[in-house]
Amino acid sequence: MKKLVIFLISLSLISSQSFALFSPRAMGMGGAFTAIADDSYAAYWNPAGLALNPGVEMAGSYQLNNRNTQIGDNYLGLKGCFEVEMDPFAWILGVGVASMFAYEGAQYLGNRGIVKKGWGREGEKYSKEESMAEDVKKEDVENKLPDQTISKTETAKMAAKEAAKGTIQISQELAKTALESATIQVNNYYGGSRWYHPNYYRPNYWDNRYAYKEPDLTPAGKAQFAGGISIMADQNPALDQNTNWYTFSIASGWSEIAALGCNLNVYDLRIPSSGTKGLGAGFDVGALVRFTEKLTFGIMAKELLTTDISWSNGSTTRYMTNVNVGMSMMPFPMVKIAADLQNIFGQNSQTPTTHYGVEFKPLYGVALRAGLYDNNKTAGASIGVDQMIIDYAIVGGIYNRTQMIGLSWKF
């Protein structure tokens, strides 16, 4: 069975040509997801969220219409998170030491001109959903860089290793109690669905993990450690740019009250009409803080550090820094309200955008959503079936009623 699971994960990663980017759940809430980000899509919205809801989860989604109208149709995400008891001071010390090594490494690369800060630099920058093809094609020089791609087989091997990590550590005496008391999660709703049931070892966004009566079954006094792999493979003839993003994420949290996360993004691009290839990288950081049971704050800085994308015709481009902040509130157990302000510093002379969303969960395993994506209306829904969650979203306004459908599987 274990070999079968690893094979299916590997196969899904290798053949990820039919999955879509932004997550139907997040888009159904108008993109107001910076302070939520508690599923496999967290790497894009806020990598700190990978440290929430421990377990191993794989997700992807398919854009039903309006494909190739922007960069980012195809996406697959894999998350592995485990939880262990840990003193808060030990966790803070560990995160601090890791951050120090990361800072020293970034400074070393910066001194050699490989990595540069992503903000405050002059020159043209691009949103990640924009094509660079037209500007790159303006330059035509002889010297070509060698073809540099990341092996999807190697990526699949890394994904298989992550699959062995997702677990919640509790004592043997509590194991039976944990499974029996999982049904307490249904009490927060009008009832449960026939097709989807609570499982202590596979928590999701319907669960309140602090609802368990035994303190040792809650996240209190425990640390969460997570890793993730995301692959976006977009063959886009309409925009004349084939875009491959490989994102490797790590995150850690304590008691699911505070969490930190970061992404290493590798960009492998190609312009089909000219055969021009580009390679670059970027670094994102994110944080989540739960002030009370009902109030959470999130911040995400995309491309905080970046390399220039070097093209084989001699030109260089780069993605712009984008800082997003968000807040989510849960006035009732069945209702979550969220708001985001994205690109708060107006990078690249682009106006900050506002995002609002609401998620209503009447039954355990059923969710309804609505939102505003910078004044463009969105809506969505989810239903749980066995170990799967099926998501749907429709995005109106400038997105021309784009529809998305997704699937996530919690192992």
Q: Tens digit of pLDDT for each residue in 76-97?
A: 889 999 999 988 888 888 787 7
Rounded CA-CA distance 369/26 in Å is 9
DSSP 8-class letter at 77: E
Quick one: pLDDT at residue 140? 58
- Is residue 255 scored above 90 in pLDDT? yes
Which of 11-25, 126-140, 160-174, 250-264 holds the top average pLDDT? 250-264
- Is residue 180 scored above 50 in pLDDT? yes
Least confident range of 149-158, 220-229, 304-313: 149-158
Rounded CA-CA distance 362/191 in Å is 8
- Is residue 119 scored above 70 in pLDDT? no
Please identify which residue in the block is written with the tokens 């290798």: 14
Average of per-residue pLDDT across 258-264: 95
Quick one: pLDDT at residue 277? 93
- Per-residue pLDDT band for 13 (boundaries 50, 70, 90) equals very low
φ and ψ of 237, to 5 deg: -65, -30
From the list 390, 332, 386, the residue with the least C-alpha distance to 361 is 332
From the list 409, 366, 358, 32, the residue with the least C-alpha distance to 188 is 366
Quick one: pLDDT at residue 167? 64
Average of per-residue pLDDT across 153-169: 49
Q: What is the pLDDT of residues 140-152, one digit of tens each?
A: 554 444 444 445 4
Quick one: pLDDT at residue 111? 67
Quick one: pLDDT at residue 360? 98
- Is residue 271 scored above 80 in pLDDT? yes
CA 212 to chain centre: 28
Quick one: pLDDT at residue 146? 43
The domain ranges of the chain are: 2-410
Least confident range of 28-32, 43-47, 66-70, 104-108: 104-108
Average of per-residue pLDDT across 287-298: 95
- Is residue 16 scored above 70 in pLDDT? no
Longest dimension (CA), the chain: 69
DSSP SS3 for 182 = helix
Model confidence, pTM = 0.85
φ and ψ of 106, to 5 deg: -65, -40
Contact (Cβ atoms closer than 8 angstroms) between residue 332 and residue 358: no
- Per-residue pLDDT band for 17 (boundaries 50, 70, 90) equals very low
Quick one: pLDDT at residue 237? 86
Contact (Cβ atoms closer than 8 angstroms) between residue 301 and residue 285: yes
- Per-residue pLDDT band for 249 (boundaries 50, 70, 90) equals very high
Contact (Cβ atoms closer than 8 angstroms) between residue 198 and residue 191: no
DSSP SS3 for 134 = helix
Question: For all residues of the chain together, what is the average pLDDT?
Answer: 83
Q: Taking the CB of residue 194, how many other CB atoms lie within 10 A of it? A: 9
